[in-house]
Amino acid sequence: MRSKQEMIDLGMNFAFECEKIRLFTLEGSLTNKNIPKDEFQDYDFSYFVTDMEFFKKSDEWLDYFGKRIMMQKPEAMELFPAELGNWFSYLMIFEDGTKIDLTLIPLDEYEDYFQNSDGLVEVLLDKDNLIQEPVIASDRKYHIQKPSHQSFDDCCNEFWFTATYVAKGLARKEILFAIDIMNGPFRPNLLTMLRWKVGIEADVSLSIGKSDKFLKKYISGTTWDALLSTYDMGSYEKMWDALYASFELFRKTSRHIAETLGYTYPDYDEKVSRYIVGIRQKYFVTEK
């Protein structure tokens, strides 16, 4: 696998030699000093170009970066709708295991790019001195913010409301539906509450990463084990157990936050919990 310096040099040399590329940036985790470095990190390159069609008409120019085992072009796909507007991206995995996510951006959109950036950007090449102010990569936009009372109540409301849909799916013996709701609108509220607790208790502003991947560092072993138990959904019985484990963990965490911030804990917890217990008692029989 090629080193970071080799990959940066590769991207830089191509950008420097191609007249149609005027600006070259690196984004993502490689710019974040708070993220542990490993061999699985992608190289998120962006080329700001004067002629998009010149690059899009053929993929041969991508051979410069090495031999690929696979490439995806999201903006050229039919099944998955494009989301980048005028931009065009190439997601490439190479034979040595290196991965590059390379995005072409029309040069005249560079101001929009920086205005809407998540902050994790480094400018590696600026041929025309377009960027007048220093660009310093920061994950500040991902730092955990203390919830307002309204946000806290919204999270509680969504958690307990969507819990009823999980129970409905289990009662109907529609386990795929129940799993989808569990992982979709339901579980994110539990993770949000755990994230808020971490933020409130931390002495400094911090991020726990995409998909809360560093959450384990900031919670107790007991809480971590309880959270993992909510992902065990291989049968109806396990799903019911996972749902109840979610209730207990959410209830404990959200009550702690309510007490800490002086917020009111919603009374519909008890009412919804009783309603769901009734569903389980009526429709669920332990499978042998």
CA–CA dist 3, 111 (Å, integer): 31
The helix, strand and coil proportions of the chain, stated in percent and rounded to the nearest 5, come to 55, 15, 35
Specify whether 150 is located in the same domain as 275. yes
Specify whether 48 is located in the same domain as 17. yes
At 117, list the tokens.
């950036």
Specify whether 230 is located in the same domain as 262. yes
Per-residue burial over 86-104, b if 16 or more Cβ lie within 10 Å, else e, is: ebbbbebebeeebbbbbbb
> In this structure, is residue 189 part of a structural domain?
yes
Specify whether 32 is located in the same domain as 135. yes
Specify whether 148 is located in the same domain as 133. no
Specify whether 85 is located in the same domain as 177. no
Specify whether 178 is located in the same domain as 133. no
Specify whether 114 is located in the same domain as 150. no
> In this structure, is residue 261 part of a structural domain?
yes
Per residue of the chain (288 residues), what is the pLDDT tens digit? 899 999 999 999 999 999 999 999 999 888 888 777 888 889 999 999 999 999 999 999 999 999 999 999 999 998 987 788 899 999 999 999 999 999 999 999 999 999 888 888 999 999 999 998 888 878 788 788 999 999 999 999 999 999 999 999 999 999 999 999 999 999 999 999 999 999 999 866 888 888 999 999 999 999 999 999 999 999 999 999 999 999 999 999 999 999 999 999 999 999 999 999 999 998 876 543
CATH code for the domain of 79: 3.30.460.10
Burial of residue 159 (number of CB atoms within 10 Å: 0-12, 13-18, 19+): buried
Phi-psi label, residue 28: left if phi above 0, alpha if psi -120 to 50, beta otherwise? left
Give the domain-ending residue among 141, 176, 199.
141
How far out from the chain centre does Cα 95 lie? 27
Calculate the alpha carbon distances from 6 to 31, 125, 179, 203, 245 in Å: 16, 16, 43, 38, 47
Give the domain-ending residue among 92, 116, 141.
141
Give tens-digit pLDDT for 166-205.
Answer: 999 999 999 999 999 999 999 999 999 999 999 999 866 8
Give tens-digit pLDDT for 63-88.
Answer: 999 999 999 999 999 898 778 889 99
Specify whether 24 is located in the same domain as 128. yes
Specify whether 90 is located in the same domain as 154. no
> In this structure, is residue 105 part of a structural domain?
yes
> In this structure, is residue 213 part of a structural domain?
yes
DSSP assigned state of 219: S
Specify whether 131 is located in the same domain as 244. no
CATH code for the domain of 263: 1.20.120.330
65: containing domain: 4-141
Specify whether 75 is located in the same domain as 206. no
Task: Tell me how many domains the chain contains.
Answer: 2
> In this structure, is residue 121 part of a structural domain?
yes
> In this structure, is residue 184 part of a structural domain?
yes
> In this structure, is residue 288 part of a structural domain?
no
Give the domain-ending residue among 116, 141, 166.
141
pTM: 0.86
